[in-house]
Amino acid sequence: MSPQKSFSPRALSELFLLGVLWGASFLSIRIALDTIPVMTSVLHRVLWASAVLWAIIFIRRIPVPRDPRIWCAFLVMGLLNNVLPFSLMAWGQLSVEVGLTSILNAATAIFGVVLAAAFFPDERLSPARLFGVVIGFFGVAVAIGLGNFTQLNPNSLAQLAILSGTLSYAFASIWARLKLDKLRPVIAAAGMLSASTLIMLPITIAIDGVPSISLPWDTWAAIAYYAVFATAGAYLLYYRVLAQAGSGNLMLVTLIIPPISILLGALVRDEALPSNAYLGFAILSVGLIILSRSGRRD
């Protein structure tokens, strides 16, 4: 087990920037959903993000893999890391506040630790990590509201959809390590997003119809933000911070995202979260800090 890496000032600033990019993405997605259906919003996200990344690959003349097995792996990765979570979480956002969505999204790190321990011998759950997982899941439960576990309504179903999306993200991280670990990050991201586009195109046409390009300017601005900056740009930045600071420190980005989303949701959409959401985030934060400092392999 290698020692936990430390933050350089540059890595810390880039981690904060990544948190801001992803934190604002929840608001931009919600703005787009005021005008376009869920599947259409997801198609826009993966289509334009993949186009940006392929342009970078072309400009840099980066070799593209030709092995069919790699492209099959891209299809699975696209399903787990884009199609399912993007769709589930966008649908959930129709009923759940921007800020609360970002809080529940932090469960990705908790699920990721549990699944990694199940699949990889070098990611075992030490007592400290197990304690962090338990605290994290309790924080998620408090944020949802313990009473919501005894009833099913549109809001609780939407929250369940968002949590299901975070579980899909966690499975995607396992698949990426098993099948895509040796690829350059920009290639892995571009291939995954291209595969996601191939999956989403027929689904979107079947459910929403042919997407219209006659959209309000603010819808296009929201799409441009969450596709180009919060997806394509954030993927590239994610791997930069990962290389500089390590996976344990990178987990702390999940503590930056919710405050950004909560603030933007309040300023732009006049959202006010219940007190249990803030308490749940505080408890979840403790769990995430414990996990980030408990000797994760980097």
First to last CA, the chain: 8
Can you tell me which residue has the tokens 């604002």?
A: 24
Task: Give the pLDDT mean for 71-89.
Answer: 97
Residue of higher predicted confidence among 296 and 231: 231
Q: Is the pLDDT of residue 123 over 60?
A: yes
pLDDT over 50 (residue 298): no
- For the chain, domain boundaries: 9-292
- Is the pLDDT reported for residue 233 higher than 80? yes
How far is residue 118's CA from residue 247's CA, in Å, rounded to a whole number? 18
Would you say residue 296 has pLDDT above 50? no
Burial 8-20 (b: 16+ CB within 10 A, else e): eeebbebbebbbb
* Span 147-158, pLDDT tens digits: 665 665 667 899
* Residue 4 clears pLDDT 90, i.e. is over it: no
Contact 247, 13 (CB under 8 A): no
Higher pLDDT residue, 44 or 245?
44
| pLDDT band (50, 70, 90) for residue 295 | low
In this prediction, residue 159 carries a pLDDT of 92
Q: Is 199 a residue whose pLDDT tops 90? A: yes
